[in-house]
Structure 1
């Protein structure tokens, strides 16, 4: 019987060396990301460091020295904030000042608009209460006037017809009385 085929030892050691180089490269990226985040005063957590270094969170958790360094840096950032995080740049102050001025202008314009609207509404209300202005619903009032005028003209015609009938009845009564009074 022949022995089973085993891979070459040099090829296996080449893969191990490549894996070690990859792990070392990722460790350096994590350490660099941690240093950069400490300098920038960026909030530090395992997830944020892993994202910045381009590695998975489990990589940091698998290496106790990296995990400890991240936790130490996070606690130091909480207890003693860096000068970079406490310092306010001149540009940020100018930008904040410009934003506040713009907000004040917008609010002042909004207040003027509201005052104008309130003045208009109070003026209309005073004008209506004084009785000087036209009624607010002139179309309805005009329709009512037209209806009343139509009713008046109908009643005037009916009155004229009754006046004629009354005059005719009086004339008939006079004739009858005249005929009765004749000898």
Structure 2
């Protein structure tokens, strides 16, 4: 049926508009009637949930970014050396008996690490 049919038959158009204003009877499951107010409440709840989920996603993205940044920092060799006691197994140049820093970070004759020099420790 074409929409213009309704506009040619004003009585049918009036019935359509009247039915539009009336609340729908019952939902298909046979439960309580669906009203405009209940639909607006459902919409408000869905929007609030979307806001909470968006905030949670942003928080998780920040945490992932920080974790990946820390991992890249450690793998680049620029980060602090590993602090575990089994670090010599992971880093072949590590010598925990002579220094708390890897040997390749010390120059011959230097008594402090670059970090110690920067911070004045």
Q: Shared fold by TM > 0.5?
A: no
Q: Which has the higher helix share?
A: 1
TM-score normalised by the chain length of structure 1: 0.30
Which structure has more relative contact order (CA 8 Å, sep 6+)? It is 1
Q: Which has the larger radius of gyration?
A: 1
TM-score normalised by the chain length of structure 2: 0.45
